[in-house]
Chain A
Amino acid sequence: MLYADTVVSDPLVHKPKVIAAMLAAAAVFFTVLNLNGTVFGELMRPVIGEPAEAGYYGQFAIGVVLALLFTLNVVVIGFLKFRLQVVIVWLQLLCLFLAFFYGFNLDFEFIRKKVWFMVSQGVFTTLYVSAISIALASVLAIIGAVAKLSSNGFAYAIASFYTSFFRGLPLLMQVYLIYLGLPQLGYVIDAVPAGILALTLCYGAYMTEIFRAGIQSIPKGQWEASRSLGFKFGLTMRRIILPQSLPLIIPPTGNQFIAMLKDSSLVSVIGVWELMFLARTLGNKTFQHMEMLITAALIYWMLSMCLELIQGRIERHFRTKSH
């Protein structure tokens, strides 16, 4: 949270000018949206008559009513305590979101039939591809970071070439390059290892920078103390520097993992049956891809939220441990 001042002013949404502006903007917005033909038109039938014939009058009436409801909602929420505000706004946004999905007239029976396969095949593949990749990428990142910080010209050149190259190319292109290019050199690798390799190399390059920053954030005194006790480089790195940089490395690494979870969908082009591949494929025969896409979207979202929770746990663990 930002560092709040001790003097508290009125919430923004309680200033008359802001309320008036909000009301006006919402009224214009809902009027332009033309909701005569929707459920709101039906609800307003006593006021505007037959919705289909209400025209601009109907639009305007609905617009004003919705704007009033919206503004009232915002003003009331403004009176609540922080936590309650968060919960209520979250729930409202979630409801809007679900209503949006509901508007597609989804076939829930079809979703119910397919969702288990999406989880057992798709989520499983997505998770294990991402997990192996992030683990290998971390190893690569440590090596890359040490090389980038070293005074050895070779190591620095190789590491900086690596990070520059793999951060400079679109991941999809790397997937193709590795899957189609490596066989030219005589190494034929399957789709899953090729995908893992591409993700590892790409994320290893990004994470090299994270690890480098983490290592550099450890004060010089730690190196000097280690050295003065007779520790060699490897020992210092392993026992003193890396353990201390972990709290700095873990939050961005968690973010990388969440990003990778979604980027791993790119390996579907080489035929890996992960979540995104199934989302595009399962509904194909019966043209029910909206169902599958939305299901997959919600699954991705839930996975990300779970990972965020786990990440928060780990961060707290490190925060309480160091002192």
Chain B
Amino acid sequence: MACTRRAFTLAAALTAAAFTAGASLAGEALDRITSENTLKVATDANWAPQSFLNDNNEMDGFDVDVARELAKRLGVEVEFVTPAWDIITAGNWNGRWDVSVGSMTPTKARTEVLEFPAVYYYTPAAAAVHKDSPAANLADLSGKKMGATTASVFELYLQHDLTIDAAGVPSFEYQIEPGELRSYKDSTAVMDDLRLGDGTRLDGMVGSLPAILNGIENNYPIKIVGDPVFYEPLAIAIDKGDAELNAKLTTIVEDMRADGTLSALSEKWYGIDYTSTK
């Protein structure tokens, strides 16, 4: 009885401590990073090859390497947290983490809640279908059941609601008029439905080219249709309100691009240099 009571007290104390800890801030992100000597990075654990758990059950991937490099150049340790994607993109992080290195597209809507210090690479977005599909070009996909990750640029593209206003991105037009749009938790889930057969659950999908290629490499029975539908600039994001951190990250990414670090990382993970649009 005494033992359970102690457990109760402990649990209550823990909860109370959790409530008070971190109940402050917003703004001085850079100060926090320096004082805690840690860069807290929000990223997905479920998005190979950008970020995933490797054989040693540690975070690994292109985004993770970029984040490690950022921390190194800031002179601090790095720590990864893995909230759901929609929680990251919703903004208002309240100091729970400092930066998102998650291949985020700097859409107009997102600039209302987040700041984007730097675009660090571009991925072509492509359409894919089951390998048995008769679709030969993008126009064939109009009127079909299309899948995409929920709240992603691919979904916005299919909804004809995508604005990309980052510098250096070629313009694009909407070439697919989906008959039905299905949203998924992540790109793996889209491909899992697509692999079931042509039209079984999906007729096609729009996703990032690297992710689709990765799937094909792992024997997913899917194929790319047509040229990339748009180039997606992918940026580092921070919460609003810390111009100093913003400037610092911009400089660091510029340096990384200039000294070839970014290109090397892209070659390492994709075999292709995605850090510029051709």
Contacts and interface: CB of A to CB of B under 8 A. Distances in A.
Establish whether A and B are touching in the complex (CB under 8 Å).
yes
Interface of A: 113-114, 117, 121, 132, 135-136, 139, 179-180, 183-184, 186-193, 196-197, 269-271, 273, 277-278, 280-282, 284-287, 289
A193 B90 contact: no
A281 B23 contact: no
B30 interface: no
Nearest to A182: B19
Interface residues of B, number: 39
Nearest to A270: B83
A147 to B, nearest CB: 19
Interface in B81-140: 81-84, 87, 90, 92, 94-96
Contact of A284 (B7, B15, B47, B87): B47
A196 B16 CA distance: 12
A273 B57 CA distance: 11
Interface string B206-220: 000000000100111
Contacts of A183: 92, 94
A228 B90 CA distance: 61
B95 A271 contact: no
A297 B154 CA distance: 32
Interface string B55-83: 10100000000000000000000000111
Contacts of A184: 92
A193 B218 CA distance: 38
Contact of A190 (B22, B46, B53, B90): B22
A280 B46 contact: yes
A196 B94 contact: no
Nearest to A194: B18
Interface of B: 4, 7-8, 11-12, 14-15, 18-19, 21-23, 25, 45-49, 52-55, 57, 81-84, 87, 90, 92, 94-96, 188, 192, 215, 218-220
A284 B52 contact: yes
Contacts of B12: 136
B46 A139 contact: no
B218 A284 contact: no
Given A270-B87, A271-B87, A285-B53, 12 more contacts: A121-B57, A187-B19, A188-B95, A190-B21, A191-B83, A269-B84, A271-B81, A271-B83, A281-B46, A281-B82, A282-B57, A287-B220
Contacts of A139: 8
A292 to B, nearest CB: 10
- 7 closest A-B pairs by CB: A193-B18, A271-B83, A285-B48, A183-B94, A271-B82, A188-B94, A287-B218
B218 to A, nearest CB: 4
A284 B187 CA distance: 10
Contact of A136 (B11, B46, B53, B57): B11
A282 B215 CA distance: 16
A282 B54 CA distance: 8
Contacts of B52: 281, 284-285
15 contacts: A121-B57, A135-B7, A183-B92, A189-B18, A189-B22, A192-B18, A269-B87, A270-B84, A270-B87, A271-B82, A271-B83, A277-B45, A281-B46, A286-B218, A287-B220
B15 A136 contact: yes
Contacts of B11: 132, 135-136
A191 B82 CA distance: 10
A8 B14 CA distance: 59
Contacts of B49: 285
B104 to A, nearest CB: 16
Contacts of B48: 284-286
A189 B82 contact: no
Nearest to B188: A284
Given A132-B11, A136-B12, A287-B218, A188 B46 contact: no
A140 to B, nearest CB: 11
Nearest to A192: B18
Contacts of B82: 271, 273, 277, 281
A271 B22 CA distance: 17
Contacts of B188: 284, 287, 289
